[in-house]
């Protein structure tokens, strides 16, 4: 009785922490305005068509240089972004920024070369020759051309259809070429850019922008993971079969309570086993973190996840994280509905165990194909009994018909669902369908919490 009362009291004290996303976007736009102001200051007059085209090439180049620094920042896995804004939103920002950056880079190249060609008094047929001359004769332009080519390759492999046909590890390592592309394209901005040659303050600020982003990337993607793994020394303790094609990996280590991990978060895991040392994949914690133990639950869906089943006790583990903002911090109401599809049960199981609440405040809906696919079901049942929480499952019929999760069915299950916060995790199609059903059931969008991790 006392634990239920404490849980209810904690639930009533909940205050939703605001995301800094709006402030960050305002700062990004302010930076873009500063870039435009620099261009405007250094463009006192524009004469003729060739002048206008060249000026357009300059501003697209400046904006591309600014955006590519933000692209790297979004790849740096800065905890303040990952935990406060959310990995899914940062990933969307990264993808959008990448598309805009490539568009601006290509526009910069075409406009600048066309402008130079017209200024030289040649026809447009001379653009190719002018481009070759610029790459071979102007300082740092050869490196910039290689960097631009890398950006095109990265963009092509990030197109949905192409990416889905590529092994995850191949796409991931190609994506890391972004750092090389940024390095190769950086120097020509300063050696050939008139805006920086004539403005030492602007040049210093540009160095400051890129230097700060580089330091963040080096710290959070290299130094911080090394410190974490030297300190905690994770190893595989056991691999446990949970359902067809689904296993849990229990890992032990030192002072794991000091990693700062919370239920609902994920790490990127690298197992030091044959064939897996160079693969790093994101998996959520499937149980509340303990001082001496962490656990993930993985479904075999590719080479890496299939190889997890063969891990042996004692295998060293390299972890990066924790990442993600789908934690109790997002909660804004006393009542919570957790919705899981398939192996998406992993973060939901951890939240089901740890979210504070009185009896009846916490509900979990688990969608699976068959009863055998209900991974961790015995644990979920035990948690529900101990906490007085509600547990439901939605399974296919004996003939294979999928159950309908609609606004009507959700209101039937929880008549006051519009007064709930909802956390959900599952395949993209499932999550989209459930989101629409929740909105139809009257749940405000701001109280539907979902997170994916692809970067």
Read off the pLDDT of residues 371-387 as tens digits, 9 standing for 90 and up: 999 999 999 999 999 99
List Cβ neighbours of 204 (8 Å cut-off, separation of 6 or more): none
More confident residue, 301 or 411: 411
How does residue 161 score in pLDDT terms, banded at 50, 70 and 90? confident
Q: Which has the closest alpha carbon to 449: 10, 11, 19, 26?
A: 19
CATH class of 21-228: mainly alpha
Torsion angle defined by CA atoms of residues 9, 10, 11 and 12, in that order, rounded to the nearest 10 degrees? 50
**Does residue 88 carry a pLDDT above 80?**
no
Q: Which has the closest alpha carbon to 392: 417, 418, 428?
A: 417
DSSP label of 47: -
Per-residue pLDDT tens over the stretch 414-434: 999 999 999 999 988 898 999
**Does residue 12 carry a pLDDT above 80?**
no
Which residue's entry shows tokens 């891990």? 311
% of the chain with per-residue pLDDT over 70: 95
User: What's residue 453's pLDDT?
Assistant: 52
**Does residue 3 carry a pLDDT above 80?**
no
User: What's residue 257's pLDDT?
Assistant: 87
More confident residue, 442 or 91: 442
Mean pLDDT on 54-82:
92
CATH class of 329-450: alpha beta
DSSP label of 122: -
**Does residue 207 carry a pLDDT above 50?**
yes
Q: Are 443 and 421 in contact (CB under 8 A)?
A: no
203: exposed, middle or buried (Cβ count in 10 Å: 0-12, 13-18, 19+): middle
How does residue 19 score in pLDDT terms, banded at 50, 70 and 90? low
Mean pLDDT on 129-145:
90
Which residue's entry shows tokens 């509900």? 363
Per-residue pLDDT tens over the stretch 243-296: 889 999 999 999 998 898 999 999 999 999 988 888 888 899 999 999 999 999
Per-residue pLDDT tens over the stretch 194-204: 778 778 898 99
How does residue 41 score in pLDDT terms, banded at 50, 70 and 90? confident
List Cβ neighbours of 372 (8 Å cut-off, separation of 6 or more): 243, 244
Mean pLDDT on 121-150:
89
Per-residue pLDDT tens over the stretch 307-353: 899 999 999 999 998 988 888 888 888 999 999 998 899 999 999 99
Domain ranges of the chain: 21-228, 233-323, 329-450
User: What's residue 5's pLDDT?
Assistant: 28
List Cβ neighbours of 70 (8 Å cut-off, separation of 6 or more): 28, 97, 213
User: What's residue 10's pLDDT?
Assistant: 38
Our measurement of the distance from residue 200's CA atom to the centroid of its chain's CA atoms, rounded to an integer in Å, reads 36
Report the sign of the C-alpha dihedral through residues 427, 428, 433, 439, in that order.
Answer: positive
User: What's residue 17's pLDDT?
Assistant: 52
Mean pLDDT on 357-361:
91
Report phi then psi at 136, rounded to 5: -90, -25
Task: Output the average pLDDT for the chain.
Answer: 88
% of the chain with per-residue pLDDT over 90: 59
More confident residue, 83 or 257: 257
Q: Which two tokens stand for residue 400?
A: 């294979």
Mean pLDDT on 21-50:
88
Task: Give the CA diameter of the chain.
Answer: 87
Mean pLDDT on 230-244:
95
**Does residue 214 carry a pLDDT above 70?**
yes
40: exposed, middle or buried (Cβ count in 10 Å: 0-12, 13-18, 19+): exposed
Q: Which has the closest alpha carbon to 422: 410, 407, 438, 411?
A: 438
Helix (H, G, I), strand (E, B) or coil at 299: strand
Mean pLDDT on 79-92:
80
CA distance 63 to 31: 10
CA distance 417 to 3: 24
User: What's residue 192's pLDDT?
Assistant: 82
User: Roughly what angle, to the nearest 10 degrees, separates helices 141-158 and 168-175?
Assistant: 150
The fourth-level CATH superfamily of domain 233-323 is Translation factors (2.40.30.10)
Mean pLDDT on 58-81:
92
CA distance 196 to 205: 10
Same fold, 21-228 and 233-323: no
């Amino acid at each position: 009785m006392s634990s239920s009362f404490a849980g209810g009291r904690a639930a009533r004290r909940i205050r939703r922490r605001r995301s800094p996303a709006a402030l960050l976007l305002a700062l990004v736009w302010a930076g873009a305005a500063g870039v435009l102001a620099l261009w405007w200051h250094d463009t006192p007059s524009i004469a003729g068509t060739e002048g206008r085209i060249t000026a357009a090439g300059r501003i697209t180049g400046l904006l591309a240089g600014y955006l590519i620094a933000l692209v790297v920042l979004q790849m740096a896995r800065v905890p303040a972004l990952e935990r406060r804004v959310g990995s899914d939103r940062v990933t969307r920002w990264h993808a959008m920024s990448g598309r805009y950056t490539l568009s601006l880079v290509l526009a910069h190249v075409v406009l600048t070369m066309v402008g130079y060609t017209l200024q030289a008094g040649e026809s447009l047929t001379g653009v190719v020759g002018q481009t070759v001359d610029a790459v071979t004769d102007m300082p740092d332009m050869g490196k910039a051309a290689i960097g631009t080519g890398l950006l095109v390759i990265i963009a092509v492999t990030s197109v949905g259809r192409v990416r889905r046909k590529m092994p995850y590890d191949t796409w991931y390592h190609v994506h890391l070429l972004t750092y090389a592309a940024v390095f190769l394209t950086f120097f020509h901005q300063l050696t050939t850019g008139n805006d920086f040659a004539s403005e030492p303050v602007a040049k210093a600020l540009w160095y400051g922008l890129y230097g700060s982003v580089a330091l963040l990337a080096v710290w959070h993607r290299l130094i911080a993971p090394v410190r974490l793994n030297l300190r905690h020394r994770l190893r595989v303790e056991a691999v446990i079969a949970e359902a067809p094609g689904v296993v849990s990996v229990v890992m032990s280590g030192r002072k794991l309570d000091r990693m700062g991990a919370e239920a609902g978060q994920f790490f990127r895991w690298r197992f030091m086993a044959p064939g897996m040392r160079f693969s790093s994949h994101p998996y959520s914690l499937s149980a509340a973190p303990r001082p001496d133990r962490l656990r993930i639950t993985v479904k075999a869906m590719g080479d890496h996840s299939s190889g997890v089943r063969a891990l042996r006790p004692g295998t060293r583990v390299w972890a990066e994280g924790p990442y993600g903002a789908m934690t109790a911090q997002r909660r804004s109401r006393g009542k919570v509905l957790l919705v899981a599809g398939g192996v998406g049960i992993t973060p939901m199981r951890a939240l089901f165990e740890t979210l504070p609440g009185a009896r009846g405040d916490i509900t979990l809906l688990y969608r699976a194909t068959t009863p055998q696919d209900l991974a961790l079901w015995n644990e979920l049942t035990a948690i529900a009994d101990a906490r007085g929480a509600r547990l439901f499952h939605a399974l296919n019929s004996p003939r294979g018909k999928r159950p309908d999760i609609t606004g009507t069915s959700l209101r039937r299950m929880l008549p006051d669902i519009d007064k709930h916060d909802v956390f959900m995790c599952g395949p993209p199609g499932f999550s989209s369908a459930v989101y629409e059903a929740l909105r139809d059931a009257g749940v405000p969008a701001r109280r539907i919490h979902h997170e994916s991790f692809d970067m």
